[in-house]
Structure 1
Amino acid sequence: MNHIYYVESDATHAGNFIFDIPQGHQCWLLVITKTPAQFWVNGELKKYPPHSAILYQAHQKIYYQACAEKYINNWIRFESDEPFVSKTSLPFGIPFALDDPDYCHKLFELLVIEHNFNRDYKKSSIDCLLHTLFNKLLESYFHDGFTTQYYDLLKLRAAIQSNPGDHWTVPKMADSLRISPGYLQTIYKKTFGISCIEDVISSRIRLAKEYLFHGSQTITEVAYRCGYQNVEHFCRQFKQATGYSPRKFQRHTDPLEEVRDTPVMISKLTDSP
C-alpha cells in the first residue's frame, strides 16, 4: 500500500530557505534537489550539488537548507509498506547523485498529476510511478563510473535513439556537448559500451526493421526515413547487421523472433552512418 500525503515538483524557495524537523515526519520523505543544498549528515552540515536525492525514514531528523540565491527541489511525503520502499537498499538521510535527473523529474510531474486528480486507476498508476522512481534511485545509487558529463551523454543518447534519421556526425555530437570529437568517442564508449556512431547505426537499423515489417514504404523511402542518403549504403549496412537484405527482410512472411530481434552486429559495421 502506498499513500501520498503531498508531492510537489519544482518547489522554489528563496536563498534563506531552511527545513528543520528534529523529530522527523511520521512517514517517508524523499527529496530530489535541482540546485545546490546543505544537508545535515552524520552530525555535520555538508554541501551537496544539484541533482542529489535523499530519503528519510519515519522519525528521522530532517535538516536541509539553501546555499544559493534560490533553492528548487522535488519532494514527496508518503506512507508505504511495499518492499521496494520498506526494504530498500538506499541509504537513509544521506544524499547521493542521480544518474538521470530529467527522467526522475518527469516521474515527479506524473505523480503530481495522479495525486491531484481523482481518476479511475489513480492508485495503480501511483504504485507504478513510485516503484519506477525507486528503481531509478537504485540504479543511480549503485551506478559505477559516474562522470560529470553523464547527464549530457544521456540526453545525447536519448536524442540519437529517438531521432536516428537525423544527420548525426561525431563533430556535430561533440559540438552539442562542447567537447572535442576524440574525447566524445572515448567517454561515450566507456559509458555505454558502444561508440556514438555505432549507436546511430544500431538505432537506424532498429527503426528500419520496424518500417520494413509493419509499414508499406518502399526500400528507398525506408532508407531516407532512417537517415540514409544512399540506398546502397543502407542495404549494405542492413545486411551486415541482420544477415538479410532489406527486401528479403520485408518479404519475410513468418516474423520469427530470431529475425525480428536479430542484434545489430556492430563489430562488422563501418564507422560511417
Structure 2
Amino acid sequence: MVAHGHRPARPVRSPGVRLLWTGAEAAVTLGLVLLLLVVHQLWWTNREAKAGAERQVRSLEREWGQPQTQGEEPSSGGGSTPAGGADDDPAVGGTGGTGGTRAAPQSRRTAAAPRPNWDQAYAILSIPRLGLRAPVAQGVSKPNVLNHGYVGHYPGTAQPGRAGNFALAGHRNTHGEPFRYINRLRRGDTLTVETRSATYTYTVDRSLAQTAPGDGGVIGPVPRSRVVPSAGYDEPGYYITLTTCTPEYTSKYRLVVWGKLSSMRPR
C-alpha cells in the first residue's frame, strides 16, 4: 500500500527503449508530413489548377463574345487510382521544326490563328469523349503553363488551321491533369480547337502508346516517331498531336495521340 502523498517512482527506460520510442515518433511525424504532401499534390493542385483553367476558358469565351457552354464538366473518369509520384514533365524533347511544309488552301490560310504571345492562353481545346474543355497557351513551361491546368503549345510547331503539326502537351496527373484520359481516345473521335477567328475540328487518326521522352519526331511537321519508325505519317498535312506522360504517375515515357484537320468554321 502506498503512503498518502507519496507518488510511485516512474520506471526508468533503458537507452534502447528510448531510442525505439524516439524512432517511432519520428516515423509517425514523417508519415503525416508525407501524407500531407500527397494530398497537396494529388488533390489540392488538381482543384486549384482545374478551377483556374475553367475561369480562363470562360474569360476567353467572354472576350470572343461567345456564350458559355453549359453542362460540360471535365470527366472524372470513374474508378480508383493508385497512389504514387506526380507527373513530371509531359513535354517531348525537340520542337521538330517550324511546321507547315506546304502552303495551306486560301480558305484555311485566311482564317488561321495568329501567333500568340508567350505563355498566353489563346485557344480552347475541347474533347467531347472526355468531357474536356481546357485553355491552350503558348509554350510548354511547367510553372508558367502546364501547372496551371493549361494545355501547352510546342514552340516551333504549327498553329491551328495551318499546314504542319499543331502539337500540344498536358499533364496526365496533378495540376488539373487535362490529358489524363487521352489513352481512351479512339480513331474517329473528334477534337475542336476554338480561337478568336475560327473553330477547327480534328479527327483522331492514330496513337502511339509509348515512346521515349526525347522522341521529337512525334511533334515534327510530318509527325513520325524516331523510336518506333512504323508510328506516324509519311506525307505533309494538317495534323494535331497530343502528348503526355505514361504510365500514370510517372514521366518515364510519352503517350501520343494524332489527328487530322477535318473542317474549319470561321467566326
Q: Give the TM-score taking structure 1 as reference length.
A: 0.21
Q: Give the TM-score taking structure 2 as reference length.
A: 0.21
User: Hey, which of these two has a bigger chunk of helix by percent?
Assistant: 1
